[in-house]
Structure 1
Amino acid sequence: MSARETILGRIRDAQTLAPPAPQPIPREYRTGRDLPDDERVELLVDRLVDYKAHVHRCSAAELPGTIARVLDGIGARTAGVPAGLNDSWTSVFGGDVVVDSSDVPAPELSRLDAVVTASTVTCAETGTIFLDGGADQGRRALTLVPDTHVCVVPLDTIEVGVPESLARLVPQRPTTMISGPSATSDIELERVEGVHGPRNLHVVIVDQAVGGGHLP
């Protein structure tokens, strides 16, 4: 008998000992919390800065110029974007805008200087940005391989806490949660950035209530 058959056999034996019907799990989370716009944004900015993310604020009309300034500020010559991102967002950027495709092997994404995406929802309390793989956010690899991620967070997508944020997600969609730039610490507590994703995270908070990826 192979090791695979042994493992599967043990799993089947364990399942016979399980209760006949799954027991309901209580999920009495605190929900429905809200804060005035200014307080919600202030809380989010505090968390993002603590995580060493770069925060920029602008209006919808200023968004293309803000994204261009961020990309120019890091010396970017090429910026990757998901296929569903609004073209106007990168219209002021003077470098090359590369539209991502699933046909592009993930290792080739490392040639991009940065990636620009929208977001689905953001939790102010934890400073966590949620991406669900939508057309204006792209595949997971696109936001993990390039060294810099420029993520747009509209005001109307910022929630106070985790339960409120999760309520706006579709469980069946692939979800990526971002809390600051990628970093880890080894047993000696030596911080290393860029191990599991971008070393640099720029969050552009749009001060108006707008739909992600579809600004006028």
Structure 2
Amino acid sequence: MSDREVVLGRIRRALRDVPRSEAPEDVPVAREYARAHVPDGTGGSGAAGDAGALTDLLARNLADYRARVHRTDAGGLPPLLRRLLAERGSRTVLVPSGLPPWWLTAADPGGPGGPGGPARVHDRAGAAARELDAVDSVVTGCAVAVAETGTVVLDGGPGQGRRRITLIPDHHVCVVEVPGQVVASVPQALERLVPTRPLTWISGPSATSDIELDRVEGVHGPRTLEVVLLAG
């Protein structure tokens, strides 16, 4: 008897007492499992809905995945973005449609931050992969961030752009508005997302390991992910 026959036999025996006319939707299934684990050791109350605790948990898990995490408020965001791009030595920065213009005002050449800022490259549907590969950095927002997994999710909405603009450039700066865009768990994130949209789930910089567990970064996306937690 083959393994396949063994498995199918077990399934038939398990379903022996189920009437042939019964459909899956006829039998309600209890789904009382936890939708979110309780954050632990965050310095807050520990409740899944505690905004400060969730933000701290998100920051820790992002850092654990080797993302570089920064915190700021609205007044500090433009100079922070300018500094991150300058430290990277970026000469060009890709800007998706709908990105709030004030985010990069300090990084404009000749802007409030002084001369020498990177040139803006606006996302175009017809841009070839080689054009995007020549861009030094990309700055985007996100749709939602998951604290328990240290994940940011982009859905192609305003300020996020097409999926390829965050997969080809080597440096991605993603701004997460906290606490409004932070949820505890993946189930809670799914409730905010539209499954038909182009979803990109990012947990740290792109990386893979070979059979000897040698880690290589930048295989499927940017080698460097910087996440800015923007306090609202």
TM-score where L is the length of structure 1 = 0.82
* Cα shift readout 1:79-115 (whole Å, capped 9, x = no counterpart): 0011111111111112101110111112210111110
Consecutive unaligned residues in structure 1, runs of 5 or more = 1-18, 209-216
Which residue of 147, 153, 161 corresponds with 1:130?
A: 153
Is 1:117 matched up with 2:121? Answer: no
2-side partners of 1:141 and 1:37: how far apart? 31
Counterpart residue number, 2:127:
104
Q: Which amino acid aligns with 1:132?
A: D
Write the mapping of 1:63-212 to structure 2, written as runs, cut at 5 A.
Answer: 63-93=77-107, 94-155=117-178, 156-208=180-232
2-side partners of 1:27 and 1:199: how far apart? 43
Q: Which amino acid aligns with 1:197?
A: G
Cα drift, residue 153 of structure 1:
0.3
Give the secondary structure class of the aligned counterpart of 2:55.
helix
Give the secondary structure class of the aligned counterpart of 2:204.
coil
Is 1:47 matched up with 2:61? Answer: yes
2-side partners of 1:96 and 1:145: how far apart? 18
Structure 1 pair 57/21, CA: closer, same or farther in 2 (3 Å)? farther
Please, which moves more after superposition, 132-141 or 191-200? 132-141
Aligned Cα RMSD in Å?
Answer: 2.0
Instruction: Please identify the structure whose Cα radius of gyration is greater.
Output: 2
* Cα shift readout 1:63-82 (whole Å, capped 9, x = no counterpart): 11111111111111110011
1-side partners of 2:91 and 2:22: how far apart? 57
Q: Is the contact made by 1:182 and 1:193 (CA closer than 8 Å) also made in structure 2?
A: yes
Cα drift, residue 22 of structure 1:
7.4
Higher relative contact order (CA 8 A, sep 6+): 1
Cα drift, residue 182 of structure 1:
0.2
1-side partners of 2:96 and 2:29: how far apart? 38
1-side partners of 2:149 and 2:171: how far apart? 21
Instruction: Give the aligned length.
Output: 190
